[in-house]
Amino acid sequence: MAATTHAASLSFLLSHPHPTSPNPNPNPNLPLRRAPHRVRCATDAAATRHRRAADENIREEAARHRAPNHNFSAWYAPFPPAPNGDPDERYSLDEIVYRSSSGGLLDVRHDMDALARFPGSYWRDLFDSRVGRTTWPFGSGVWSKKEFVLPEIDPDHIVSLFEGNSNLFWAERLGRDHLAGMNDLWVKHCGISHTGSFKDLGMTVLVSQVNRLRRAPLSRPIAGVGCASTGDTSAALSAYCAAAGIPAIVFLPANRISLEQLIQPIANGATVLSLDTDFDGCMRLIREVTAELPIYLANSLNSLRLEGQKTAAIEILQQFDWEVPDWVIVPGGNLGNIYAFYKGFEMCRVLGLVDRVPRLVCAQAANANPLYRYYKSGWTEFTPQVAEPTFASAIQIGDPVSVDRAVVALKATDGIVEEATEEELMNAMSLADRTGMFACPHTGVALAALFKLRDQRIIGPNDRTVVVSTAHGLKFSQSKIDYHDSKIEDMACKYANPPVSVKADFGAVMDVLKKRLKGKL
């Protein structure tokens, strides 16, 4: 059962009473929908227009049909508010600031009063009308929800590769055959994106804001954008910076990411520094560098990225026709993503798009599990750790920046933290592959957590459950090769399926096939 209560401490974040009567339609291109009549919306009108002139691009076309500004706004505020701090402390999104005056995290807050003037049905219809279109910038799964993301940015400043709109598929056989008959199991494949990971969702927002800061009239002297990365962040940053013509600087831990992840920023023209340290060491260095040089910090310490990542939660609601799932399981490393999913679901609840939020599960690799240990202590003491090597390399983080954000999300949703050993995560990944997936090891962590929660009967056979797949399996092919060759030390590789060497002889081939298909012929 999904949680229906929320931590009182979150009232500052999103709470606002729903209006009884909305103000006039905020977007004249999209009339409010009133059942039972079908409304002719902006995309209907677009379908009947003549094709744009040959010398006009989609940005220019969108500018001609741009709706007026309706005073939606957003800003940075301390997260959470300091007990003895300034209650009015806030910063414009046009400021280059990563920490509050007390040194804590920042969060992007939206003017919920302005958004709440319009009913949830309005926002559902507006977002649904944009899906699958090429209208700039709404062809993106992120920017189709622009009013909930960066409402004030000029579409001319947006840097988008039409990310998002990722597949939510029914894991029918995995649920039926291997999870005691789960009939409502789904996988949100965020790895089906431009650079092969969910990081694209946040990076389009961050790089778009940097693009705005660098251009007139703001004209900020930002020389480039930098990040520390375990692989996927660097791939996303380098791709979006390349699209915008902005220099990208990447700090990577040497010999700790896959070759497929390493080649992405190199191919996109980023300056790649391979450092003899782990991710946490890279993070310390990039923070020191960005404090001295005019390089914009792109790590999840920067809360802009979470505004893009939260749209994956809204997509899930759309894909279920605005019905709320019971559970959403998210792999956790630096822990911004679990909070982003909560923020997307909670924003939709507060604004009346849905009436509740799902229970969240954060899944960690046992070799990098500081949040799991914190959870098992009853949230009494958080202790950073030196993360051990894990096949789920993107979440090999022992001192996560967003731990406080994650705790807020989990407490508010009656959430759970679970862990997976290396053997558990690799077996879960490989078993899922045998049912038609091609999962990454991080998805294996989330699937292993699901297996455990089903065994404990916490997740029921009829609970609608979504497992978030954060990256594409092709980015981690070497780990799959080693598994199926049974070359992983101290691991049984239960589902290994190596190729069979056989002579090019009909009899030899028949012997192998008869053995493999014994009882099925």
Q: What is the pLDDT of residues 197-210, one digit of tens each?
A: 999 999 999 999 99
Residue 228 has a pLDDT of 87
For 60-89, how does the pLDDT look when each residue is reduced to its tens digit (9 = 90+)?
Answer: 788 777 766 678 999 999 998 777 778 889
Q: How far is CA 421 from CA 365, 418, 486, in A?
A: 6, 10, 17
Mean pLDDT of the chain: 88
CA of 318: how far to CAs of 18, 126, 255, in Å?
21, 11, 40
* Contact of 296 with 227, CB cutoff 8 Å: no
Residue 16 clears pLDDT 60, i.e. is over it: no
Residue 7 binned pLDDT confidence (cut-offs 50, 70, 90): very low
pTM tops 0.85: yes
Q: Is the pLDDT of residue 31 over 80?
A: no
CATH code of the region 166-193+303-475: 3.40.50.1100
Higher-confidence residue: 83 or 127?
A: 127
Report which of 274, 272, 344 is spatially closest to residue 123, judged by C-alpha positions: 344
Q: How confident is the model at residue 462 (pLDDT cuts 50, 70, 90)?
A: very high
Domain boundaries, the chain: 166-193+303-475
Question: How crowded is the C-beta side of 305, counted as CA atoms within 13 Å?
Answer: 25
Mean pLDDT, residues 237-245: 97
Range with the lowest mean pLDDT among 44-48, 382-386, 441-445, 484-488?
44-48
Tens of pLDDT along 467-476?
999 999 998 9
Q: Quick one: pLDDT band at residue 4, thresholds 50, 70, 90?
A: very low
Highest mean pLDDT of the ranges 9-23, 117-131, 228-242: 117-131
Average pLDDT over residues 283-312: 92
Q: Give the chain's radius of gyration (CA, Å).
A: 24
Q: Which residue has the tokens 């480039």?
A: 224
pLDDT band at 267 (very low <50, low <70, confident <90, very high): very high
